[in-house]
């Protein structure tokens, strides 16, 4: 790892000014993506601004039909939160399947969404539930937030502060994990929202990162059943292909996982 200077921010405003004062700084949250990347010398920020000690940036708040999760909330704390488990069990279950226990103790929802890895789990939940990303500057809808592999609507110094999830009528996430890394080889999040609309998001599969499977959404809107989800074939065009799985294989997994997810959602 190249040399770097570490700063602990005490507030969101201080974090922003610390970053502005750095020549090539980066925010640091759980470090479960950034530190391995720095160790490989694929990233070499001159400064790290730690967001995790900012009071109030971590925690879960449920009000009415919304679950709001602070950006610095660790995956473990989402997975074990009684309020997330009762309001959106699919979201708690998703968090409990990220990486391994040590990664879940450190990694944060804000870090995962800022990074937008094409095989990460949280993007699927955010997009399928139509969540809102709150930053120090604005609120961004899920449909506007994800802009391709490792690319988001965030500006350089923008800080995610929280994510608001509307409580759905039904939802489930099923992933086919890469047996070594636990990242999604394919993962499908299906949701029937409180207003009856259906949203289906797919991770691990698209060359441009997480996407909505509109054909599956239409089939489920007409007939919410596992067979209806599984009857839709996904085209392998634009689908990731690597040593872990070909485009055809991943495309087929989407139909299989969508079917399982609807069965799990009930």
Partner 1 sequence: MTTVSMTVNGKTVSADVEDRTLLVSFLRETLGLTGTHVGCDTSQCGACVVHIDGRAVKSCTTLAVQAAGTAVTTIEGLSSGGELHPVQAAFRDNHGLQCGFCTPGMIMTSVDIINRHGAHLDEATVRHELEGNICRCTGYHNIVKSVLDAAGRMTTSAAAE
Q: Residue 119, interface with partner 1 (CB under 8 A)?
A: no
Residues near partner 1 (CB under 8 A), total:
28
Segment near ligand FAD (CB under 6 A); pick from 4-12, 79-87, 99-107, 215-223: 99-107
Q: Quick one: which of 177, 76, 78 has its CA closest to 126?
A: 78
CA 21 to chain centre: 29
Q: Kindly identify the residues of this chain, within the stretch 121-180, that bind ligand FAD according to CB under 6 A.
A: 121-122, 159-160
Which residue's CB is nearer to partner 1, number 120 or number 239? Answer: 120
Residues 156-215 that bind partner 1 (CB under 8 A): 180-182
118 binds ligand FAD (CB under 6 A): no
C-beta separation of 53 from 135 below 8 A: no
Kindly state whether residue 58 participates in binding ligand FAD, applying the rule CB under 6 A.
Answer: no
Is residue 36 close enough to count as binding partner 1 by CB under 8 A?
A: yes
Query: If binding is defined by CB under 6 A, does position 29 make contact with ligand FAD?
Result: yes
When the beta carbons of 53 and 138 are compared against partner 1, the nearer one is 53
Quick one: what does residue 1 bind among partner 1, ligand FAD, none, with the CB cut-off 5 to 8 Å set by partner type? partner 1
Smallest distance from partner 1 to CB 252, Å: 25
- Give burial (CB, 10 Å; 0-12/13-18/19+) of 178: middle
**Residue 159 touches which of ligand FAD, partner 1, none (CB < 5 to 8 A by kind)?**
ligand FAD
Please provide residue 51's backbone torsions phi and psi, each rounded to the nearest 5 degrees.
Answer: -95, -15
> Rounded to an integer, what distance in angstroms lies between the CA atom of residue 225 and that of residue 252?
18
Query: Applying CB under 8 A, does 6 fall inside the site for partner 1?
Result: yes
Interaction between residue 108 and ligand FAD (CB under 6 A): yes
Q: Write down the least CB distance from residue 196 to ligand FAD, Å.
A: 29
6 binds, among ligand FAD, partner 1, none (CB under 5 to 8 A by kind): partner 1
Nearer Cβ to partner 1 (64/179):
179
Q: Which among partner 1, ligand FAD, none contacts residue 112 (Cβ within 5 to 8 A by kind)?
A: ligand FAD
Residues 198 and 191: beta-carbon distance below 8 Å: yes
CA distances from 85 to 23, 82, 89, 106 (A): 42, 5, 4, 20
Angle at 68 between CA 10 and CA 57, to 5 degrees: 10
Instruction: Give residues in contact with partner 1 (CB under 8 A).
Output: 1-6, 28, 31-32, 35-36, 38-40, 48, 50, 52, 76, 99-103, 105-106, 180-182
Instruction: Give residues in contact with ligand FAD (CB under 6 A).
Output: 26-34, 36, 51, 71, 98-99, 103, 106-108, 110-112, 114-115, 117, 120-122, 159-160, 181-183
């Amino acid at each position: 790892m190249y040399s770097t200077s570490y700063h602990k921010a005490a507030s969101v405003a201080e974090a922003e000014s610390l970053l502005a004062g750095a020549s090539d700084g980066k925010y640091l949250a759980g470090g479960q993506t950034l530190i391995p990347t720095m160790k490989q010398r694929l990233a070499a920020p001159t400064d790290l601004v730690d967001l995790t000690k900012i009071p109030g940036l971590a925690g879960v708040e449920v009000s009415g039909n919304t679950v709001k999760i602070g950006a610095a909330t660790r995956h473990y704390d989402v997975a074990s939160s009684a309020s997330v488990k009762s309001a959106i069990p699919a979201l708690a279950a998703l968090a409990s399947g990220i990486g391994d226990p040590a990664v879940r103790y450190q990694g944060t929802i804000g870090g995962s969404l800022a990074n937008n890895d094409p095989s990460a789990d949280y993007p699927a939940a955010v997009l399928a539930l139509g969540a809102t990303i709150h930053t120090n500057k604005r609120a961004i809808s899920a449909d506007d937030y994800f802009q391709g592999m490792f690319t988001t609507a965030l500006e350089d110094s923008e800080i995610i502060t929280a994510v608001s999830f509307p409580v759905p009528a039904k939802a489930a996430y099923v992933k086919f994990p890469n047996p070594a890394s636990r990242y999604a080889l394919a993962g499908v999040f299906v949701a029937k929202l409180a207003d009856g609309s259906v949203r289906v998001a797919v991770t691990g599969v698209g060359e441009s990162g997480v996407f909505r499977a509109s054909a599956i959404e239409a089939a489920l809107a007409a007939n919410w059943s596992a067979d209806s989800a599984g009857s839709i074939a996904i085209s392998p065009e634009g689908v990731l292909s690597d040593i872990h799985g070909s485009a055809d294989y991943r495309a087929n997994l989407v139909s299989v996982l969508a079917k399982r997810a609807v069965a799990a959602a009930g």
